[in-house]
Each structure stands twice: as C-alpha cells, then as structure tokens.
A and B are shown apart, each in its own frame.
Chain A
Amino acid sequence: MNVLGKVARGVGGYIVGAEGGKSEAESVQQYLQRISDGDNPEERQDAVAELRDLLEGRPEAQAALGNGGFPVLINALRNERGDLELVRGVLECLVIAVQPGERESHRQGPDSNAINAELLAKSPDTVPMLLGFLDEEPAGIKDFYVRYHTVQLLTALAAGGPYRLQGAILAAPMGVVRLMDLLGDSHEVIRNEAILLLSGLTRSSADIQKIVAFEGAFERVLQILEEEGWSQGGIIVQDCTELLNNLLRNNPANQLMFRETGHLSKFASLLQIPERSRRGIPRQVAANLLSALATLSLLITPTPPNVKKQDKAQEESWAANRATLMKQGALGLLLALALAHGGVASPPVRGQALVCLERLISAMPQYKEALMSAKVIGSTEAELPALQAILQTALRSRDVEEATAAEHVLQAFCRDNAEGQRMLAATLTPVGDTSAESMRGSAGTFGGELVSALMGPDARATARAAAVLADLLRGNAACKQQVLATPLEIPQTATSEPVLLLPQCCRYLSLALSSGRHGDAGISLAVCSILRLLITWAQDCPPAIDALLMPAGRIPMLLDLTQHKFGARQVACTGLAAVLLGVCLLYSTPTQPADSQQERVTTAVLSDIISSRIGLAAFFGLLDALKQDPHFVQAASGPTASKPTARSGQARDEGDSSLASSTAGGAAGENPFDYEFAEWLPGFVDQVHRLSMEGLRRPSNEAALAEYAHGADELQSARAQIVDQQRELEELRKRLSQSNGAASNGSSQKAEQEAVERISAAEARARQAEAKTSQAEAGVRQAEASTAAAQAEVNTLRGLLEASEREAMQLRKAAEEALAAAAKLEADLEGLSGAYNSLETHSFTLEARLRQLESSAGSLQQGAAAVSATKAPAEDEEDGEDDDGMNDLLICLGQEEQKVERLRAKLEELGVDVDSLLEGIGNDENDGEDADDADGNEHDLT
C-alpha cells in the first residue's frame, strides 16, 4: 500500500505537464492498486481489463505504467498464473506498454516505450518467467492467448532493447531452444509472431544465430516458405527471408551448414518467378524477391576491393557458396529475373539481380565463360546473348541503379579477362555492314549497339557506352590497338577515309565545347565518361596517344577542355581533361623517332605546351581539385557493406526507391568515377609530378633551377636559425623568471649579468637571423630574377616562388616577432636591473646610516663608560652616599638612550634630518669613521 502510494505520487509528479496526464497517471495507479489488492479474482480481472483499455493509444498512460508499475504486474503474473483471464490481460497491458508505437515524429522527449522495454527486460526474473510460459505443460501455459501475448511481448522487448533481451535469453537454460519450438506451433499466428521474434533476436547475436540454426531453423524456414508459395507469398515470406538473412549474415558456420545440408538448392526456388511476372508484380512480391536477392548477395559477396583484410573462413565460405549456387543454376535464375523478356517488372529487383550476377561471376573465369555463352530471350522476344542484353540494360535503363549494376556486370566480366574483352571488341563491326547485320538478325550485335549508343543523340547513353567501351579496353593492349583501327562505317568510296572510333570520341568532345549547353548534366556526364574512356585507352598505348594528339587542333581542344566551364561537373570535366593530358605526358614517346614519317608529339613538346599554356601549378591544381570532387570522394570510399534491414522498411522502400532513383538520381546523380579510378589517381598524379620535375631539369632551366635551389637552401637555414633562436628565447624567458626570483632574494647580481649576456646574445642571434632572412630574401629575389629569364617555366616557378616568398614573409614575420620578444625581454631586464640598482642604493645608504648610528652609539657608550669610571671611585670614597647624583646620571643616561632609540626610529623613517643631527653628535665625540675605531676607543677607555 505504502509503496504504491509513493509510486503513485512519483508517477503523478513525473507526468505533470502532459495534457491530461495527471488524471491518467492517477487512474493507472488506481488500477494497479486494485490489481494488487483486489479482494476477489473478478475485481482484479476487471481492473486489468480497464487498465488495458486505458493504456491503448495513450502514450502518457503507458509511460506512467512503466514508471513503477511493472513490479505489480510481474507479481500478478508470478503469483496468479492459474488465473488465465488475469494473465492474458496483464500480458496485453505489458505488450501495449513496450511495443514501439507509431509515434508522431514531432513529439518531443524520449520514447517511453523503449524505456519501458529496457526497464522490463532489465528485471532479472521477467524473461525466464516469460520463457517459462512458453514451455510444455506443466511448466508452461497451454493457453493460446497467453502464448501469443508472451511472444508478442518478447518481440516488443527485442525491438526495444535487443542486447538486454539477447543476454537474458542466452542466460536462461534452453532459452533459444524454447523459442525455436514456437516455429512448429500449430497456431499459425504464434508461428508468425515467432518468426518476427527470432528475426529480432538473431539480427545482432552470432550465438543466437548458431543455436537457432542448430535447432533446425533452416529446414523449418524453407518449409514455411514453400507452404507460403515462395516468392509469390505474402509478408510471411519476407519475414522468413529476413530471418534467413540474419542467420547467414557474416556467419561462416551457418553458411556452411546451409550449404552442406542441401538447403541452397531449395533456396533457389525462392528466386523462381512465374511467366506473368514480366507484366507487373505486386509490391509484396517485389519485396520478397529483394529480400531473397539480399540472401543470395550475403552468400556470395566477394571481398570488396576496399576491404583489405577479411576473415579467411568467410572468404572460403563465399567461394564455396558461389560454386554450389552455380551448380544450382543461380546464373540462369538471375538472368531470368534481370533480363528475360525485359526482366521482372520492378527496377530495384532487376538492379539487385544484376548486382548479384556481378558478385557471382567476379574473379571466376569459368563463371564468366558461362555468362558469355548464356543466352536470354530479350525484351523484343528474340534470343540474344546475355551479355548483349546486359549491355542494353546498361545503355537504356531509366533506373540509374539498374544501369550502373548492369555496367558493373560488364566491368566484372572484362576484368582480367583478355579473351572476353577480345571477343566483345570483335563485335565492333562497321555500321551498315549488311552482311554482319543480316547474320545477327534485328537485335544487332553487342558492338553495334555499343557504337550506335556512343554516337547517338542521347547523352546519357553516350556516357554509359563510353564506360562500357573503357571496360572492353582496360589493361588490354591488343584490344586497344584493334579498336583503334576498326572502321565504324564502310567508306562510301574507296578513296574516302574510314570513320574510326577515337576520332569520333574527340569530335564529340569538341562539339560539347562548342555546343554552348554548358549546364547540361547529361553532356557533362558524357564528356567525363569519354575522357575516362580516352584515359583508359591512352594508358600504355603510344599508338592511341598518337591518334589522339597528332591530328591538327586536338591539343588546343584538350587544353580548352581544362579551362572550359562545364557547370555542375566543372571540376570533374576539367580534372579529367588534365588527367588525360597527364596520361599523354606519361606514355608519349620521349624522343622523336628517326624513321617516323610524321612529326610525333614527344614528351618534351607536350610538357612545354602544358607548362606554357596552362602552367604547371594550374595543371596540378586541376588534378588536386579532382581529388576533392564530392563524386570522387564518394567513389574513393568504396562500396558499402550490406546491413540488416528492418521488415517494415523494405516493402515501402521497394516502391519508393524506384521512384527516388528515377527522379533524384537522373544524370546529375550518376557518378563518373568508380573505386578503381579513385585508387589509381593519386599514384598517377605522383608519377606525372615526378616526370614534370624531371622535365624542369633540362639544360635551359638548369640555371634557374640552381638559383631556386640556392634560395630554398638559404631559406631553409634561416628557418632553422629562427627555430634555434626561438628555443633560446624560450630558455631565456625561463631563466629570467628564475633570476627574478633570485633578485627578490637579494642576490641577483650574477643572474642579472647572465640574463643581460643572454639577451645580448639573443639579440645578436635575432640580428643574425634577420640577416639570414634578408639574405634568403635576396636569394629568392635573385632566383626570381633569373627565373624570369627562363621563359618556358615562368609560370611554375612563379607559383613556387610565390610560395617561397610567402615563406620568407613568414620567416621575416617570425624574425620580427623574435626581435620584439627579445626587446621586450631586454626592457624587462632593464626594469629589473633598475629596480635592483635602486635597491642597492637604498641598502648602501642604509649601511652608511647604520655605521653612523653605530659610531654615535659608540660615543654614547664612551660617555657612559666615563660616567661609570667617575662613579666607581666616588663609590669607593663616599660609600653610596651620593645616590641622588648617581640617579641623576642614570636618568641622563636613560634619556640619552631614549634619544638614541627615537633617533634610530626617525632614521628609519626620514633619514636626512637625523643624519645631520647624528653627524653633529659624531663630530662632537670623535672623528671615528667606522665602528671598529669606536670599539677600539671603548676598549682603550676600559
């Protein structure tokens, strides 16, 4: 009672402020009280029922229940488990209180249901007790509603605080085993809830994943999938597939079990689709297929290139999975999903199927061969090679992700596959070659479609075609040469020149320069893509460089490209143009061959042109800017790993993402870069950098270079000097503070001297440094002057000199700062020594005064001695009769002493007046200048 009262007050206080919260909290408290104290079962049952009605849809009441109400309900569950009505009701209340509700996004504050879930899972007895309900009788409760709500409650707990629940379930003996039994529950509703619960629990716990797999989850899940009609089923199929994904993700042991037990072949059924799926598929079916493709992707994902070290077991597992899946016909299934008759009527599903296809074949020559010989019925109902169908998707898909995925399949196919590249390149036959066309039928050839897209009016298709062509040529010298010579059109007359591919690409670029459609995202994307094609082509292929640079007007065009305004893709276009020039520089012939008919563009000539027309600094600036381009940065970060998805999101995502990618993801969203290019670029820029520095060392530039080197050396030493000096100053400052301390102790002479010495040394050094700096400056100016003479490299050196000037400026500033610091130190020391001097003067005068005082004291003592000398005989003679006289004398003496005292005091205060006074006294007594003499006199007298 009392406890409850307190709880209620606490709850009330907590809820104040929420609208109507107080009364709700109070009601909650009243119901709890009735549940715990009710006289008869009926009353308690009623209270539970009313509490449940109150909680439904009222977050404030739910929060209020969490705030202290759980112990009451848990107690009721524990103590009155025979009362089924009560147990059902209490469980329902708990479910409502912890189930993540549809919260309006604008609501502030923490999610009270998540807090409730955490609270409930935290109490150590709760989870074991709930698991107990699910056990066989007599330990468990057979009632359907009790079991149903218990599973619901556990699922809600898993959603609210998965780690706590995972821990509690693992700690309970046979915890997971009991949950697994639920998959075999005769009630479908409970089975379906159990799928969700297990999915939630397995999402992040490898231990639970393994136990669930051990308990036969794979068989059971596949069995349910079959009962539900595989991909054509409802949301249960999606739930099951997600459970499957959670069991297999990054878990080689479970993957091995899945494979070894023959489940993979059954799983393939999930990817089969009926014929009618081409026309249109329900959203749920698309979600099911996406989820199944996610499973496939988990099973075959090879190590992405950006992940350096991978678990060896996982690597082996992926390879084995791929081998098994290939045997199970995964290739055909994926081709059917992505391509056959145009593929499934869902762009995300087709795109994901292509992603899986890429992963399936990548780095496996025999799988690539299988893909090369595969044929599909295309969208035009004609049979064509699968690779050509993939090309069609890459060129024509309106869904960017799908097109990119298709291009990636071709890229993966071509990587380290010279034979495949050669075969595809061989299909680049002349357009209008009717003999070839008639043989291939209306579908055309791979090469024919590629070329017509490259040269066609659609900029986006051009861009994608250029990317595919680059895949065909990458790293394959033979292909590069072959395609250089392949005519695109049969010459009309025997005398006319054949139309070749590379000149066509260049023509596209020059048209883009002159078209004036600068802001067009499609055009700039195509420019990027063609530049990347040419970059790939020119690498390690001097004939391609000749073909690129030798015709008149090509070099000016490339130079124009580096300075053209391209709108949104400005940095990418100009940067890639610079990369292309760099590639030409790197792979061009160093010297003019003696036997050549035509004059070729040599490295030296090209280098001169670049430095005079763009300027080396500006040239490297373009390359650096390219590395900062957001698309480039994104590409450099590499592919992202797959992550667990939540059920609710996926079905929605399926519908939305297709929309999103086709609108926002248009040409503007396509990335002209990929991970490989991003990896390659920095090393390449270094190479070009080295090459151009070597170019600077040619004879005409040597003088300037030497000057420059000299200036740089000077600067270097001056900088070192200044660093030294700064260190010295630092030390000085430290010593100064020490000597300050010493001076206040009265013995600072030495420290002061030392400080002064150091200051002057510092000054000297500062001056030296300044001199050095000015020397350096002079050197730099000299270098400037001589560089001006070397006209070809004027741009670069100016840039470099500007930098050195800036450096000199900084050094000058640093020197000035150092000087200022030194001056300040000096001033400080001066002040200190002044203070010391005055202190010394003061102590000197004090000393003098002391001496005077002592001498006067001496004369007084003499007087006193004389008195006692006269007094002694008088005593002897008069035997103490002359007391009065004696007293007078003593009084006189006392007065004298008092005077001395006062004088001394005055001395300390005023000095000058007393000085003269004392001097008067001193003169009266004797001329003794020091205390020793006075002492001597005293002794003499005694």
Chain B
Amino acid sequence: MSYAYLFKYIIIGDTGVGKSCLLLQFTDKRFQPVHDLTIGVEFGARMINIDGKQIKLQIWDTAGQESFRSITRSYYRGAAGALLVYDITRRETFNHLASWLEDARQHANPNMTIMLIGNKSDLTHRRAVTTEEGEQFAKEHGLVFLETSAKTAHNVEEAFINTARKIYEKIEQGVFDVSNESYGIKVGYGAGGSAGGTVRPGDPAPAKSSSCC
C-alpha cells in the first residue's frame, strides 16, 4: 500500500468516446462492450512503477455529457494529469477538443499534464480522424499523444504510465511544489517505509530515511 507518490488523474472528453472503458481496462484489465452512461464522476485506482518508484494513480472518470460539465469542472484544479479522449471514428469528438482544452486551461492548474488520446484504434475500417491529424493537434497545443484501444488494451497502459512519467519528470525538475497537495500530487511514505507520521501541507516532503547509512 505504501507509495512514493500519489497522482490524481482525470479523464475528460465527449460522451461515448470510451473514457470509462479506458479506466476499466487500466484498473481491472477487462473490457465491457456495453457500459452505462457515467453519472457525474466515477473513481478508479492502481499502483504503477516508474524507475523503481511505486506510484499510486487515483483516476476520476468524468461524465462527458454537457449537463455534467459544471460538476466535472470541479475536478480540474486538483488533478495532476488529464487524459483528453476522442473517438477516432467520430469526427465531431475530435472537433470538440478545443473546447475541452479551453475548459481545462481555465480551471486546471497550469502545470497539469494533458495526454491526448485517440481511442477505438481497433476500428480501423471506420476511422474518421487520421493519426496525423491527432499528432498535429497535440503538437500545436503542447500535448502528448497516443492512439489507444480500450477493447484490445493497445496502448492503454502506456497512456496512463507515460502521463505519470511526464508528471514524475516535472517533479524531478522541480516544477511542482509537491508539498502543495492541490496540484494533485501527494508525497507518500516511500517504498518499504512503515506508516510513520503524516504529511501536512506546508511540511517539507519527508526526507528519505538516512538512518540506515
């Protein structure tokens, strides 16, 4: 249960692009072809490993419908990463990306890492948005880009892990004040460390145990 860092993610994008399926594939490694519409927000969690560090991902899967926008916006500020998802077989979901980005820029913290995801890559025969278009959009807006398939699990791990890696890099570079939990990052007790004290906002991140040297 112990982890070095905890990252909070949100998954955003139009309704029906496969956000909940991506989450389910990532947390439970299964695909559910028929999925109820997400009401409000759902939650998932998984532990991953980057450079030997245990990182806990907490992922909030939001409802894509317009009527839930005001609720889902409340999740932007506290997230360290966002997966912005569109459906490669439905062009309109690609066209709406700009408005999602605008929402995110307005409400999220400026350091939030956004990964652009073109989902349903298994449906090549119905493709309506080319890979190049996706890449182009990502490049223009400074996003990381991947095409995934929640059905075949293609690139799903990578989507979540690459985002985590990006955030981790930013931490290493000192972009974040990790003691401020409102960035969606929490410093854990480190691998192997038994549950000690708690991290209070304002406290420095717990120093790595030096007594053993």
Chain A residues engaging chain B, CB cutoff 8 angstroms: 170-171, 173-177, 181, 184, 206-207, 210-211, 213-216, 219, 222-223, 226, 253-254, 256-257, 260-262, 265-266
**Nearest CB of chain A from residue B93's CB, rounded to whole Å:** 24
Give 14 A-B contacts (CB < 8 Å), ordered by A residue: A173-B73, A174-B74, A210-B60, A211-B41, A214-B8, A214-B60, A214-B78, A215-B78, A253-B41, A256-B43, A256-B44, A260-B45, A261-B6, A261-B56
Residue pair B41, A210 in contact (C-beta under 8 Å) = yes
Chain A residues in 8 Å Cβ range of B6: 261
18 additional A-B pairs beyond A207-B40, A210-B60, beta carbons within 8 Å, are: A170-B70, A170-B71, A170-B74, A173-B107, A175-B74, A177-B77, A207-B41, A211-B74, A214-B8, A215-B182, A216-B78, A222-B198, A253-B42, A256-B44, A256-B45, A261-B6, A261-B56, A265-B1
Chain B contact residues, majority secondary structure:
mixed
Taking a contact as CB atoms closer than 8 A, the residue among B56, B78, B200 that contacts A177 in the complex is B78
Chain A residues in 8 Å Cβ range of B186: 216, 219
Taking a contact as CB atoms closer than 8 A, the residue among A211, A216, A219 that contacts B71 in the complex is A211
Chain B residues engaging chain A, CB cutoff 8 angstroms: 1-2, 6, 8, 40-45, 56, 58, 60, 70-71, 73-75, 77-78, 107, 181-182, 186, 195, 198, 200-201
Residue pair A253, B71 in contact (C-beta under 8 Å) = no
Kindly state the separation between the CA atoms of A802 and B201 in the bound complex, as whole angstroms.
83
Select from chain A the residue with minimum beta-carbon distance to B40: A207
Select from chain A the residue with minimum beta-carbon distance to B74: A211
Residue pair B74, A176 in contact (C-beta under 8 Å) = yes
Please give me the 3 A-B residue pairs with the lowest Cβ-Cβ distance, nearest first: A253-B43, A260-B45, A262-B1
Chain A contact residues, majority secondary structure:
helix
Taking a contact as CB atoms closer than 8 A, the residue among A173, A216, A254, A265 that contacts B195 in the complex is A265
- Known A174-B74, A214-B60, A257-B58: A223·B200 in contact at CB below 8 Å: yes
Kindly state the separation between the CA atoms of A818 and B2 in the bound complex, as whole angstroms.
87
Kindly state the separation between the CA atoms of A216 and B80 in the bound complex, as whole angstroms.
13
- Known A210-B43, A257-B45, A261-B56: A226·B70 in contact at CB below 8 Å: no
Residue pair A174, B73 in contact (C-beta under 8 Å) = yes
Kindly state the separation between the CA atoms of A262 and B196 in the bound complex, as whole angstroms.
13
Kindly state the separation between the CA atoms of A776 and B191 in the bound complex, as whole angstroms.
91
Taking a contact as CB atoms closer than 8 A, the residue among B42, B56, B71 that contacts A207 in the complex is B71
Chain B residues in 8 Å Cβ range of A256: 43-45
Taking a contact as CB atoms closer than 8 A, the residue among B42, B45, B78, B201 that contacts A261 in the complex is B45
Select from chain B the residue with minimum beta-carbon distance to A258: B43
Chain A residues in 8 Å Cβ range of B45: 256-257, 260-261
Select from chain A the residue with minimum beta-carbon distance to B106: A173
Chain A residues in 8 Å Cβ range of B41: 207, 210-211, 214, 253
Chain A residues in 8 Å Cβ range of B56: 260-261
Chain B residues in 8 Å Cβ range of A173: 70, 73-74, 107
Kindly state the separation between the CA atoms of A57 and B71 in the bound complex, as whole angstroms.
39
Select from chain B the residue with minimum beta-carbon distance to A169: B74
Residue pair B43, A216 in contact (C-beta under 8 Å) = no
Chain A residues in 8 Å Cβ range of B42: 253
Select from chain A the residue with minimum beta-carbon distance to B200: A223
Chain B residues in 8 Å Cβ range of A219: 181, 186, 198
Select from chain B the residue with minimum beta-carbon distance to A262: B1
**Nearest CB of chain B from residue A212's CB, rounded to whole Å:** 9
Select from chain B the residue with minimum beta-carbon distance to A184: B201
Kindly state the separation between the CA atoms of A117 and B177 in the bound complex, as whole angstroms.
40
Kindly state the separation between the CA atoms of A253 and B77 in the bound complex, as whole angstroms.
20
Residue pair A210, B40 in contact (C-beta under 8 Å) = yes
Chain A residues in 8 Å Cβ range of B195: 262, 265-266
**Nearest CB of chain A from residue B203's CB, rounded to whole Å:** 11
**Nearest CB of chain A from residue B134's CB, rounded to whole Å:** 29
**Nearest CB of chain B from residue A11's CB, rounded to whole Å:** 36
Chain A residues in 8 Å Cβ range of B60: 210, 214
Kindly state the separation between the CA atoms of A253 and B41 in the bound complex, as whole angstroms.
8
Kindly state the separation between the CA atoms of A584 and B58 in the bound complex, as whole angstroms.
60
Select from chain B the residue with minimum beta-carbon distance to A313: B42
**Nearest CB of chain A from residue B143's CB, rounded to whole Å:** 23
Chain B residues in 8 Å Cβ range of A223: 198, 200
- Known A177-B77, A211-B75, A223-B200: A261·B58 in contact at CB below 8 Å: yes
Chain B residues in 8 Å Cβ range of A261: 6, 45, 56, 58
Chain A residues in 8 Å Cβ range of B198: 219, 222-223, 226
**Nearest CB of chain B from residue A225's CB, rounded to whole Å:** 11
Select from chain A the residue with minimum beta-carbon distance to B46: A260
**Nearest CB of chain A from residue B169's CB, rounded to whole Å:** 23
Kindly state the separation between the CA atoms of A490 and B5 in the bound complex, as whole angstroms.
68
Kindly state the separation between the CA atoms of A184 and B70 in the bound complex, as whole angstroms.
24
Chain B residues in 8 Å Cβ range of A260: 45, 56, 58
**Nearest CB of chain B from residue A191's CB, rounded to whole Å:** 12
- Known A207-B40, A261-B6, A265-B195: A216·B75 in contact at CB below 8 Å: no
Kindly state the separation between the CA atoms of A175 and B74 in the bound complex, as whole angstroms.
7
Kindly state the separation between the CA atoms of A220 and B78 in the bound complex, as whole angstroms.
14
Kindly state the separation between the CA atoms of A332 and B18 in the bound complex, as whole angstroms.
44
Chain B residues in 8 Å Cβ range of A177: 74, 77-78
**Nearest CB of chain B from residue A206's CB, rounded to whole Å:** 7
Kindly state the separation between the CA atoms of A181 and B180 in the bound complex, as whole angstroms.
12
Chain B residues in 8 Å Cβ range of A184: 201
Select from chain A the residue with minimum beta-carbon distance to B41: A210
Kindly state the separation between the CA atoms of A206 and B40 in the bound complex, as whole angstroms.
9
Chain B residues in 8 Å Cβ range of A175: 74
Kindly state the separation between the CA atoms of A215 and B74 in the bound complex, as whole angstroms.
9
**Nearest CB of chain B from residue A323's CB, rounded to whole Å:** 14
Task: With a 10 A CB-CB cut-off, give which of A176, A226, A260 has the most chain B CB atoms.
Answer: A260
**Nearest CB of chain B from residue A617's CB, rounded to whole Å:** 54
Chain A residues in 8 Å Cβ range of B73: 173-174
**Nearest CB of chain A from residue B28's CB, rounded to whole Å:** 11
Select from chain B the residue with minimum beta-carbon distance to A176: B74
Residue pair A171, B43 in contact (C-beta under 8 Å) = no
**Nearest CB of chain A from residue B194's CB, rounded to whole Å:** 11
Chain B residues in 8 Å Cβ range of A214: 8, 41, 60, 74-75, 78
**Nearest CB of chain B from residue A786's CB, rounded to whole Å:** 66
Kindly state the separation between the CA atoms of A265 and B44 in the bound complex, as whole angstroms.
19
Task: With a 10 A CB-CB cut-off, give which of B2, B42, B43, B78 has the most chain A CB atoms.
Answer: B43
Kindly state the separation between the CA atoms of A226 and B198 in the bound complex, as whole angstroms.
10
**Nearest CB of chain B from residue A182's CB, rounded to whole Å:** 13
Kindly state the separation between the CA atoms of A257 and B45 in the bound complex, as whole angstroms.
7
Task: With a 10 A CB-CB cut-off, give which of A175, A184, A216 has the most chain B CB atoms.
Answer: A216
**Nearest CB of chain A from residue B37's CB, rounded to whole Å:** 14
Kindly state the separation between the CA atoms of A89 and B9 in the bound complex, as whole angstroms.
42
Chain A residues in 8 Å Cβ range of B182: 181, 215
Chain B residues in 8 Å Cβ range of A206: 40
Chain A residues in 8 Å Cβ range of B201: 184
Select from chain A the residue with minimum beta-carbon distance to B1: A262
Taking a contact as CB atoms closer than 8 A, the residue among B43, B75, B181 that contacts A257 in the complex is B43
Kindly state the separation between the CA atoms of A253 and B40 in the bound complex, as whole angstroms.
11
Select from chain B the residue with minimum beta-carbon distance to A175: B74
**Nearest CB of chain A from residue B190's CB, rounded to whole Å:** 14
**Nearest CB of chain A from residue B21's CB, rounded to whole Å:** 16
